[in-house]
Amino acid sequence: MLRSLYSCGVLFVILSFVTGGLYPLLVTVIAQAAFPRQATGSLVNDNGKVIGSSLLAQSFTKPRYFWPRPSAAGYNAGASSGSNLGPTNPAILEAVATRAKNLSASEVSPVPVDLVTASASGLDPHITPTAAFYQAARIAKSRGLSEAQVNELIQEQTEERTLGLLGERRVNVLLLNLSLDALAAVE
């Protein structure tokens, strides 16, 4: 029996080292070599300062910026979650109706669905090009730009479907807002 316990103990130590140390180290080294930007969180820098990640939504509320999808997690990556409310739940229907009313008061109708509904994680950094174009007039007016300039920027920042067929065309809100700030700095 003592021999069995010793064998189990040795096996436990060896497997702990392999699966808890060696394997994660190997995967990290491969990831750093093959995908250095993604392996460090796809961080976005502005003048040498980290301002966010292109993988996580951030809250933008000023009229001069594009707004992301609403977040059930309050844009907190540590609290990533959806609302867990079903599509027919009165609370969800009321929240969507309120968001649509608030948006349509300052924009033209109809409101794109991704501007009034949260993503499953509550942290989706993308909106549809339709949602971006919907906001163009407000941003152009707020920044003193032409709507054509803002629309051109949206076109430049639109990402195509992954591998040409997976997902939908999308616009990263953080990167679009950074491009908007860069455009304003040039003029």
Long-range contacts of 43-49, Cβ-Cβ distance < 8 Å, separation of 24 or more: 44/174, 44/175, 44/178, 46/178
Co-location of 119 and 178 in the same domain? yes
DSSP 3-state of 178: helix
- How far apart (Å, rounded) are the C-alpha atoms in residues 67 and 82? 18
The range of the structural domain enclosing residue 34 comes to 1-40
The pLDDT-based confidence of 185 (bands split at 50, 70, 90) is: low
- How far apart (Å, rounded) are the C-alpha atoms in residues 17 and 114? 46
Strand ranges, E, within the chain: 43-46, 49-53, 126-127, 158-159, 170-172
Strands lying side by side in the sheet with 170-172: 126-127, 170-172, 158-159
Co-location of 93 and 144 in the same domain? yes
Indicate the burial class of 132 (C-beta count within 10 angstroms; 0-12, 13-18, 19 or more): buried
Co-location of 13 and 88 in the same domain? no
Co-location of 35 and 116 in the same domain? no
Number of domains present in the structure of the chain: 2
pLDDT digits (tens, 9 = 90+) for 93-148: 888 888 888 777 656 668 898 988 888 777 889 999 999 999 999 999 999 999 99
Highest mean pLDDT (candidates 74-78, 116-120, 160-164): 160-164
Co-location of 57 and 78 in the same domain? yes
